[in-house]
Every structure is written in structure tokens, then in C-alpha cells.
A and B are shown apart, each in its own frame.
Chain A
Amino acid sequence: SQQGEEDPQALSIQEGENATMNCSYKTSINNLQWYRQNSGRGLVHLILIRSNEREKHSGRLRVTLDTSKKSSSLLITASRAADTASYFCATDAWTNAGKSTFGDGTTLTVKP
């Protein structure tokens, strides 16, 4: 079974709006990562947040992690049409050494 589950499955917004997607997981983790996948392409790493961190920023991206609720959120501010893609969270756990477990993703559509 998948460790991480993204919510919502699909999100459609207008350019300039903010997009928020969530990831929930079941067991304790070491790190949580977010990836982007453009249609027909491989995944691209966006940001990694460690279990002892609560928030991290990278450009227009803001990631939060709440280990007590076993959840993370990815916020994309001032979205652009080029942000249209699928977004996946991946969890890394000490019990799963060497491997990340990916969720099923959130498909984001940003309308111009």
C-alpha cells in the first residue's frame, strides 16, 4: 500500500491564484520530498523537508510538515500556466532504507 496519499486528486485554478495540495502518510518518516511531473516526462525533484523541520521555502513553493498529524502540504503561490503538472509526495523512512515511497499524485491545471 502507498505510504503517501495526496489530496485532492485533481485541482484546477486560474493563473495568479495559489494552489495547495496535501500529503498524508501512515508511518514515521525521516524525510518527505515533493516532485513535479510534466505530462509524458520523468519526475523532477522540488524540495525535501526533514522530519525535524516544520516549514521550508523555495521560490514560490512553501512546504509544511506536521509529524504529529503525519501530513505535509505544498503551496504554490501566484501560479502560472507552466505550473500545470502532476505533483507527488515521497516519504523516506529508516525502516525502508534506500527507498522512497510515492503517492498517486495531485494533477494541477492552471488556466491562463
Chain B
Amino acid sequence: NAGVTQTPKFRVLKTGQSMTLLCAQDMNHEYMYWYRQDPGMGLRLIHYSVGEGTTAKGEVPDGYNVSRLKKQNFLLGLESAAPSQTSVYFCASSYGGLAGSYEQYFGPGTRLTVT
């Protein structure tokens, strides 16, 4: 099993450009998450999904959109990138259940720089 994979690993964007980050998991997990991590800080939840076709906002959703058309994939889109979106983005998945009571499996991260 590959676990959770993220594409791309690195990306540099100019302000105003758009891009999509792809997350894929092969563990048949119901729940998927997108986080951002800024230097020296913990994870902040951007958006998450509790099942195919569903998405919900997290703590810092502004400037991002997501889609979960297939159970195994969770896409994060930046429509008009801003320097404040420079960060490392992590995708995670879990079996689910109420109150997030299952461990999350993380991808390796995507390092995004917006100039």
C-alpha cells in the first residue's frame, strides 16, 4: 500500500496564479483532510471531507476550495495564490467516526512558495 500520496512535492507560484494539489489514499478511508503548516507552528485545518461528495470548512478555509469526487482523492485548489499562502500543505486520511476518534495517516507534504 502506498498510503497517502501528494502531488506535487514542491511548487513555486507567482501571485495570482492558480494550482491544484492532489491527495490520494489507498486505504479506503472515509475521512480526508487538508492542513497547512507554517514555520514553527502546528497544523491548521483548511478543509475536510467525511465522505465522497462531501466537503466542509476547517479553521482557515479562505482562499482555498476543495473537491472529493472520488473516495480515494481529495483535491485542494488555490484560485488566485497570495504570498500569505506560502506554506507546507499536508493531506491526511482516517477511517472516520465521530469526534475524529481514529488516527490520521499523513502524506509527505507539498512545499508551496508564492512570490
Contact = CB atoms under 8 A, between A and B. Distances in A.
Interface in A83-108: 88, 90, 92-94, 96-105
Contact of B107 (A40, A42, A92): A42
Contact of A92 (B40, B42, B101): B101
Interface of A: 2, 30-31, 33, 35, 40-45, 48, 88, 90, 92-94, 96-105
A92 B99 contact: yes
Interface residues of B, number: 28
Interface in B24-63: 31, 33, 35, 40-45, 48, 50, 56, 58
Given A2-B42, A88-B42, A99-B45, A94 B98 contact: yes
Contacts of A42: 4, 90, 92, 106-109
Contacts of B105: 45
B104 interface: yes
Interface of B: 4, 31, 33, 35, 40-45, 48, 50, 56, 58, 90, 92, 96, 98-101, 103-109
Contact of A99 (B4, B48, B90, B108): B48
A99 B42 contact: no
6 contacts: A30-B99, A31-B100, A35-B104, A99-B45, A101-B45, A102-B42
Given A43-B43, A97-B99, A98-B50, 12 more contacts: A43-B90, A45-B103, A48-B101, A92-B101, A96-B100, A99-B33, A99-B48, A101-B45, A102-B44, A103-B42, A104-B40, A105-B41
A98 B106 contact: no
Task: List the 8 closest A-B pairs by CB distance, nearest first.
Answer: A42-B106, A45-B103, A30-B99, A102-B42, A92-B100, A104-B42, A102-B43, A92-B99
A43 B43 CA distance: 10
A93 B99 CA distance: 5
